Structure 1
Amino acid sequence: MNWNYLILILLATFGGGLIPMTIRRINANFTIYLLAFTGAFLFGITIMHLLPEVYHELGHNAGIYVVLGFFLQVFLQQLSHGMEHGHTHLPGENHRHIAVMPLLLGLSIHAFMEGIPLGFQYEDKSALPSLMVGVAAHKVPEALTLITVMMHAHRKKAELWRILIAFALVTPLAAVLAGWMGNRFEIVQHYLLYVVALVIGAFLHISTTIFYESGTKHHELSGKKVMAIAAGLVLAFLTLIFE
């Protein structure tokens, strides 16, 4: 377990959460392009590093778990209201009456799932550092959206900090737990591979939803959004150099 990677994820989460707490007016385009970039990078990492790994180990059975993970994420976003892919609007735009616990539960389960593949031992030596960077990049808009919604729900600053700290710890703790269990029990390491396949499905759902939506009116693909997506994919391609 590389602790530097986990610190990077912690800092990225705190950084994303601090943006709405310190900047009064955030340009809507900033969030759109940030989501497009991080979504494209996560998509590229998933396709180029994680998918080959699970198909190599599980064969065609991997596809079953990828599909299950895709629809597991569909279920989770009913709780989180899609905050993991940048949604800040809730039904009726009534932020004063947000059901906070289901929302935090859904987002925390997703964050825990993100952490589990970080504790897995990959044959592809570039897979783990690439995934770490991809998850860290995704944490910035994820935390930004979470704290933005909590602020619109008129949560006190002390509560905002508690939520941000708790949320920031979920993914690193999941990575540490998965790594610790996998190193001590061979059967756990084997079954972690199935969890990685589930997470791949969730990542595919999140990243492709970002491509389609990411906050733009009528879901159009503007030139700048295309450039942000292209930059994310190019960065993902560059990680193949380190294989």
Structure 2
Amino acid sequence: MNWIFLLIILLATLGGGLIPMVVRRVTPNFPIYMLAFTGACLFGITIMHLLPEVYHELGHQAGIYIVLGFFLQVALQALSHGAEHGHTHIPTDGHHHVQIFPLLLGLSIHAFMEGIPLGFQFKDPAALASLVIGVAAHKLPEAFTLITVMMHAHQRGGRLWRILIIFSLVTPVAAVLASVLGQHSTYISNITAYIVALVIGAFLHISTTIFYESGTKHHELSYRKVIAIAAGLLLAFLTLIFE
């Protein structure tokens, strides 16, 4: 387990959550282009690095679990309401009612799942470093959205910090557990490969949803959004230098 990689994930999550806490007024287009960039990066890394790994490990069964992971993410959205891909769903009727526990539960399950591949023993030496970049990029808008919703729900001060810190630790803790348990149990190591396939399905759902939506009212594909997507894909392609 590379502790520097886990630190990168932790700092990316904290950084994403700090933006709405310290910036008084965030430009409305900022989350849109951040989502487009990070979603494209995650998509490219999933296709280029993670898919070959699970098909090498699981063969044709990999496709079954990838599809299951895709629809597992659909089910998780019943709790998180799409916060993984930037949806805040903040009420505008003046009631300011946000269901905090389901949102935290859904996002925490997703965060735990995406930490498990970080503890997997990849055959491709470039896969883990590339995955760290993809997950770290994804954590920025994920934490940004979570804290934005929490602030709207009037979570302030120490409680807001506790939510951010605990959420930031979920993915690194999952990575450590997957790594340690996988090293001491062949059974756990084999199970991890199937979980990686599930996570790939979830990543594909999240990243493709971001392409179509990214917070825009009419799901338009502006030239700025195209540039953000292209930049994200370029970063994903640059991870091939780790080969």
TM over 0.5: yes
Q: Distance in 2 between matches of 1:122 and 1:95?
A: 48
Aligned residues: percent identity?
74
Amino acid of the structure 1 residue aligned with 2:105: L
Residue in 1 aligned with 2:60? 60
Residue in 2 aligned with 1:234? 234
Displacement of 1:90 after TM fit?
Answer: 4.4
Alignment of 1:154-173 (within 5 A): 154-173=154-173
Residue in 1 aligned with 2:48? 48
With over 3 angstroms needed to count, the CA separation of the structure-2 counterparts of 1:95 and 1:52, relative to structure 1, is farther
Q: Distance in 1 between matches of 2:167 and 2:117?
A: 18
Counterpart secondary structure, 1:131: helix
The question of whether the paired residues in 1 share the 8 Å contact of 2:91 and 2:97 is answered with no
Residue in 1 aligned with 2:149? 149
Residue in 2 aligned with 1:81? 81
Displacement of 1:240 after TM fit?
Answer: 1.4
Residue in 2 aligned with 1:4? 4
Amino acid of the structure 1 residue aligned with 2:14: F
Q: Distance in 2 between matches of 1:59 and 1:66?
A: 12
Displacement of 1:94 after TM fit?
Answer: 6.2
Q: Distance in 1 between matches of 2:92 and 2:107?
A: 20
Counterpart secondary structure, 1:49: helix
Amino acid of the structure 1 residue aligned with 2:179: G
Residue in 2 aligned with 1:36? 36
Counterpart secondary structure, 1:126: helix
Q: Distance in 2 between matches of 1:65 and 1:37?
A: 27
Q: How many residues align?
A: 243
Q: Distance in 2 between matches of 1:202 and 1:45?
A: 13
Which blocks of at least 5 consecutive residues in structure 2 are unaligned?
A: none
Q: Distance in 2 between matches of 1:177 and 1:95?
A: 41
Counterpart secondary structure, 2:215: coil
Displacement of 1:108 after TM fit?
Answer: 0.1
The question of whether the paired residues in 2 share the 8 Å contact of 1:44 and 1:233 is answered with yes
Q: Distance in 1 between matches of 2:93 and 2:142?
A: 19
Q: Distance in 2 between matches of 1:56 and 1:43?
A: 19
Residue in 2 aligned with 1:71? 71
Q: Distance in 2 between matches of 1:92 and 1:147?
A: 18
1:223 has 2:206 as partner: no
Which blocks of at least 5 consecutive residues in structure 1 are unaligned?
A: none
Cα deviation digits, residues 23-55 of structure 1 (max 9, x gap): 111011111111000000000000000001111
Q: RMSD of aligned C-alpha atoms?
A: 1.2
Alignment of 1:90-169 (within 5 A): 90=90, 96-169=96-169
Q: Distance in 1 between matches of 2:108 and 2:146?
A: 11
Q: Distance in 2 between matches of 1:207 and 1:90?
A: 22
With over 3 angstroms needed to count, the CA separation of the structure-2 counterparts of 1:172 and 1:94, relative to structure 1, is farther
With over 3 angstroms needed to count, the CA separation of the structure-2 counterparts of 1:229 and 1:93, relative to structure 1, is farther
Cα deviation digits, residues 197-230 of structure 1 (max 9, x gap): 0000000000000000011120000001001101
